[in-house]
Chain A
């Protein structure tokens, strides 16, 4: 069974631009969560989606948004990029909500210049 896939793997953007990252969960998994990893803050929860509904959101500004499609694929969007948004963005999937064992994709490395 294929794992979680994320595209693109690497991205370089300029301050003020926006970016969209994509995540395809493991087949059959319906819950998708997003995390940001930075050297200073570690792994921080962004949001969780289940059945196309956002179930939880972390402590991030409104510039960070996401959505989930009917096939469970998910996208996250960051608008008006700032230098501090440079990070590894990780997507994780699990069978359902309250299924805590989450499986992570390889991540998208975003660099904002």
Chain B
């Protein structure tokens, strides 16, 4: 049972444009959501997070939006840069009062120069 889903395995965007990565979840008990960026053979790097009591969180070029009624979150990267090319994972936590993260399957973002 995939509780966190990223339905787009890949996304290609031109440098300078907006990248929008999407994530859906099924468990309404999740109360914290995170986005990680990952390069091959490296550990995920934390990017940005959002609590379920908020609907938007912004950090520099990165903004995460949460729509609880739709059980959907998205990561916006503006403007996109070639160095943003990586796999992006969304993750959810809080359903069982521990730090356990449930990850989506990832979206490979390619930013074309």
A residues adjacent to B (C-beta < 8 A): 4, 31, 33, 35, 42-45, 48, 50, 55-56, 58, 88, 90, 92, 94, 97-107, 109
Contacts and interface: CB of A to CB of B under 8 A. Distances in A.
Interface stretch (B17-25, B53-61, B75-83, B90-98): B90-98
Contacts of A107: 41-43
Interface size range on B against A: 20 to 34
Given A103-B46, A106-B43, A109-B41, A98 B97 contact: yes
Interface of B: 32, 34, 36, 41-46, 49, 89, 91, 93-94, 96-106
A48 B45 CA distance: 19
**Secondary structure class of chain B's binding surface, majority of residues:** loop
A33 B98 CA distance: 10
Contacts of B105: 42
Nearest to A6: B43
Contact of B34 (A50, A58, A101): A101
Contacts of A58: 100
A31 B97 CA distance: 13
B49 A56 contact: no
Nearest to A10: B41
A104 B34 contact: no
Given A42-B103, A43-B103, A100 B42 contact: no
A88 B36 CA distance: 16
B34 A56 contact: no
A82 B32 CA distance: 35
A56 B103 contact: no
20 contacts: A4-B43, A42-B106, A43-B44, A43-B103, A44-B103, A45-B100, A45-B101, A56-B98, A56-B99, A88-B41, A90-B43, A90-B44, A99-B99, A100-B34, A100-B99, A101-B34, A104-B36, A106-B42, A106-B43, A107-B41
A100 B43 contact: no
A31 B43 contact: no
Nearest to B45: A104
